[in-house]
Structure 1
Amino acid sequence: MMKKTFSFSSLVLAALASNAQEVAHPNIILFLVDDMGWQDTSVPFYKNQQTALNQRFRTPNMERLAQMGVRFTEAYACAISSPTRCSLMSGMNASRHRVTNWTLEKDQKTDATSSTIALPDWNYNGIQPSNTAGLINNSTPITSLPQILKDNGYFTIHCGKAHFGARNTPGGDPATMGFDINIGGGPNGAPGSYLGTKNFGEGTRFAVHGLEKYHGQDIFLTEALTREAIANIKRATEMGKPFYLYMSHYAVHSPYDDDKRFSNNYRGRYDIQLNDTLNEKEARYAALVEGMDKSLGDLLNYLEQNPETGKNTIILFMSDNGGQGLNNVRQGRANRDQNYPARAGKGSAFMGGVREPMIVYWPGITKGGTQNDQRIMIEDFFPTILDMAGINKYTTIQTLDGISFIDMIKSP
């Protein structure tokens, strides 16, 4: 079972929540993790039982958020990055927007080749802003979620991974998709490096741009992104505008660079799931998870220390696809260890490829420590976030498949 200890800061935020009222335009943080499996956390998402994988990972701030909000145990996304992110931005199911694999270069498919199967055509240029309709082949023009929020007075912040439009297309730049600020987002689906000492991969096609002031420093990418996110929350507050922060971490995607702040917590440790000692890559993977959790904690701490902001800020936590399955970077047995008891992992239609850890906290609305077992799909975030923002009148050029789950938050 998840530990029931409450930190002082959790109690402070809970006290703020008890006095909070549902307001017209709350601040909204969507905290999206990359490649995080539904079991890659100390928070239980399987029958309210703590599994062996839950015991491997240290995510005290996810525990903290779950104690304040609602855990969703049947949350689903697409099996790979770009389709999920396109559904999130558009409110469309992947079968409708037809971005069904990861995107990167303009007019280039990323499918594996086959001599026996004729693969279907798909929108490998990703989603694009609405003003590009008919201009870019193999793409889906949309009215984006952040554009609607921006048009309704929100200060919209993109921080981290984008990966919803191909390089050298408008959709490859979050600034064209309704974000006032873009920190580190582009067409690439992974960082060239997590290390500031390696300039976050500068000079490679997977470079993370917008963080040049950290180049050469001994800082991890997850930390740098978090600092910039908090700086822009402050900026929005000073402007007197509600903010939408899309905190879209590159973590825990490969490369498994060593986050030395946390890797020694796992290096050489015996693991009951594997019945073996964690190898170096598994230790680094677990450290990426813990570093992501620290980022969540830093945001929670900021909201606690700034109660006027904190009492009016909703947080949604989600992952973009299942955790990595057994391949050349993971340790264990096929279909058994990485996302167990679900089968397989990222890229698979089996449960391990699509089931996600999801938590929602809404001050004054959510009942802390509760659980909802109804099914949620990634496109449902689009109408839900607009409902949260109090935006009821909007039009989109695309057909929406998502259904708001706001009532599930209010009455889990």
Structure 2
Amino acid sequence: MRASVFLGVVISCQIVFGEENGGDSVAKPNIIYINADDLGWMDLSVQGSTYYESPNIDRLAREGMIFTNGYSPSSNCTPSRAACITGQYAPRHGIYTVDSSARGESKDRKLIPTPNTTDLDTSILTMPEVLKEAGYVTAHIGKWHLGPDPLEHGYDVNVAGAHWGFPPGNGYDSPYDFPNCVQEEEGEYLTDRLGEEAVRFIEGNKDRPFFLSFWTHSIHSPIQGKKELVEKYEQKTASEAHDYPTYAAMVQSLDENVGKIMDTLKKHGLDRSTLVVFTSDNGGVWRWSKQWPLRAGKGSFTEGGIRVPLFVRWPGVIKEGSSSETPVSGIDLFPTFLEAAGIGVPKRKVLDGVSLMPLLSRGESLAERALYWHFPIYLQGACPERNDEKFRTRPGSVIRYGDWKLHQSFEDGRLELYNLKDDIGEKHDLVGRNPEKADELLKRLNSWREKIGAPVPTQLNPDYRGD
């Protein structure tokens, strides 16, 4: 049975943007939050890939603002999504990874990791809850991975959202094993079904403000593309970094369904009254798609694991063809959506991010700040570009401040310092050459951890058999 659509009550709280840019005045815009899964920073043609094709996403990006230093709040699925939807860093909600924090073999883990929370607590105020209270009808379509049901967290409609981090059963091939997600044609493809559901929701709510989370499962495993698209890319010249036809087919299917959404907005005259964000929950999987010049990929807190595509489009408000080098994060989306909708931050809510609207709508600079990542956990899997045969992630923290980025290991206290302006690939550790900068960033990192109550594991693991 298909989920019924709740018709939200429109309240009088409004905000008007667009006049400074000569655009239309927009009161209480629609908001569409597109979150791809495991799509890396270099996995789109607008980002520089010569193998993958993404004309619809490229157009979306070029019609708004491209953030060249856009980040996910974590390097894998669940913690990134939790941070974005709550607007809070991981220590506030306790979600650091998927499943257990003690991943890998115990004999390889030097420390006892901090316990992990797997489901987002329903007491934590979320982005859709605040928007719903302000009169938005809210829908989640696609991957959830934050607990059993998005309806517990402020959504009126749920299509395909469940515990699973990947499509179970037949994967992307129908029939599906998701709530409220039923094939309508034999042999249809999951990404296409989700795209059709998004179109249906938009058309059913075009006369009231809506908030749509379109969180596709693509490009998460299982790597399954549509046969005709796989055959297309088998005939195309690959690049050194991108050479997987099935992966390329999945990128194209994602792109086609983003195109459906954008075409639907234009068809119904919603184009200039809708704020659209496109991003990814973390970096790409290294073994399937290299993110060069970035180092490593999903699961690592080097740039390849956390720097992601981030585009924001709102005609008449955001200047077409604009870009920003300002470092921003998924935790900034919550306050951005609130300001765009003219909604104040609820007194009971703590937000770690900042609104991007001054930058997006008026070109103003944001106050200089640091971005943080905290992962007191282990995540198994070899990370060749980190020279680690056991783990993609070991316990530690990271700070980016200005052009500088500092990694701190909790196992041995080791520091790594990089200047991303000169060394985006994090190849040249500058701790020895610039100890003062490392100390400065470490002090900021320690102060942030103390302020936010971030746990640091110190207990040694008696099973450890390492060097």
The structure carrying a bigger helix percent of its residues is 1
How far apart are residue 268 of structure 1 and its match?
4.2
Give the distance between the partners of 1:286 and 1:257, measured in 2 at CA.
10
Are the equivalent residues in 2 in contact too, given 1:194–1:222 (CA < 8 A)?
no
Are the equivalent residues in 2 in contact too, given 1:144–1:178 (CA < 8 A)?
yes
How far apart are residue 213 of structure 1 and its match?
4.2
Work out the number of aligned pairs and report it.
Answer: 341
Q: 1:395 to 1:219 in 2, by over 3 A?
A: farther
Q: How does 1:245-324 map to 2 (within 5 A)?
A: 245-274=212-241, 278=243, 282-307=244-269, 309-324=270-285
Give the distance between the partners of 2:61 and 2:345, measured in 1 at CA.
31
Counterpart secondary structure, 1:360: strand
Give the distance between the partners of 1:296 and 1:402, measured in 2 at CA.
26
Give the distance between the partners of 1:377 and 1:164, measured in 2 at CA.
19
Give the distance between the partners of 1:285 and 1:64, measured in 2 at CA.
21
1:408 equivalent to 2:359? Answer: yes
1:67 equivalent to 2:62? Answer: yes
Give the distance between the partners of 2:38 and 2:121, measured in 1 at CA.
24
Give the distance between the partners of 1:59 and 1:26, measured in 2 at CA.
26
Give the distance between the partners of 1:110 and 1:247, measured in 2 at CA.
31
Counterpart secondary structure, 2:68: strand
Tell me which residue corresponds to 1:76.
Answer: 71
Counterpart secondary structure, 2:53: coil
How far apart are residue 378 of structure 1 and its match?
1.2
Are the equivalent residues in 2 in contact too, given 1:343–1:350 (CA < 8 A)?
yes
How far apart are residue 388 of structure 1 and its match?
1.1
How far apart are residue 263 of structure 1 and its match?
1.7
How far apart are residue 319 of structure 1 and its match?
0.4
Give the distance between the partners of 1:119 and 1:339, measured in 2 at CA.
31
Tell me which residue corresponds to 2:192.
Answer: 223
Tell me which residue corresponds to 1:364.
Answer: 316
How far apart are residue 300 of structure 1 and its match?
1.1
Give the distance between the partners of 1:67 and 1:312, measured in 2 at CA.
18
Tell me which residue corresponds to 1:88.
Answer: 84
Give the distance between the partners of 1:383 and 1:174, measured in 2 at CA.
20
Counterpart secondary structure, 1:245: strand
Q: What's the % identity of the aligned pairs? A: 32
Q: How does 1:30-41 map to 2 (within 5 A)?
A: 30-41=33-44
1:186 equivalent to 2:136? Answer: no
**RMSD in angstroms over aligned alpha carbons?**
2.0
Greater CA drift, 94-103 or 33-42: 94-103
Are the equivalent residues in 2 in contact too, given 1:156–1:178 (CA < 8 A)?
yes
How far apart are residue 315 of structure 1 and its match?
0.5
Tell me which residue corresponds to 1:57.
Answer: 52
1:111 equivalent to 2:103? Answer: yes
Give the distance between the partners of 1:243 and 1:345, measured in 2 at CA.
34
Give the distance between the partners of 1:19 and 1:158, measured in 2 at CA.
33
Are the equivalent residues in 2 in contact too, given 1:173–1:187 (CA < 8 A)?
yes
1:160 equivalent to 2:136? Answer: no
Q: 1:121 to 1:393 in 2, by over 3 A?
A: closer
TM-score, normalised by the number of residues in structure 2: 0.69
Tell me which residue corresponds to 2:122.
Answer: 129
**Alpha-carbon displacement from aligned partner over 1:339-378 (angstroms, at most 9, x marks no partner):** 1000000000111000000110012111111110000111
Give the distance between the partners of 2:22 and 2:260, measured in 1 at CA.
23
Counterpart secondary structure, 1:291: helix
How far apart are residue 322 of structure 1 and its match?
0.3
Are the equivalent residues in 2 in contact too, given 1:223–1:295 (CA < 8 A)?
yes
Are the equivalent residues in 1 in contact too, given 2:51–2:237 (CA < 8 A)?
no
TM-score, normalised by the number of residues in structure 1: 0.78
Counterpart secondary structure, 1:254: coil
Q: How does 1:10-21 map to 2 (within 5 A)?
A: 20-21=23-24
How far apart are residue 395 of structure 1 and its match?
3.2
Q: For 1:243, which of 204, 210, 215 is the aligned residue?
A: 210
Q: For 2:152, which of 176, 182, 185 is the aligned residue?
A: 176
Counterpart secondary structure, 1:367: coil
How far apart are residue 393 of structure 1 and its match?
4.7
Give the distance between the partners of 1:161 and 1:180, measured in 2 at CA.
16
How far apart are residue 188 of structure 1 and its match?
0.8
Give the distance between the partners of 1:407 and 1:235, measured in 2 at CA.
32
Where do 5+ consecutive residues of structure 2 fail to align?
1-20, 364-467
Give the distance between the partners of 2:353 and 2:321, measured in 1 at CA.
26
Greater CA drift, 350-359 or 19-28: 19-28
Where do 5+ consecutive residues of structure 1 fail to align?
1-17, 45-49, 131-141, 166-171, 203-207, 331-336
Greater CA drift, 227-236 or 257-266: 257-266
How far apart are residue 100 of structure 1 and its match?
0.7
Tell me which residue corresponds to 1:392.
Answer: 344
Paired amino acid for 2:294: A
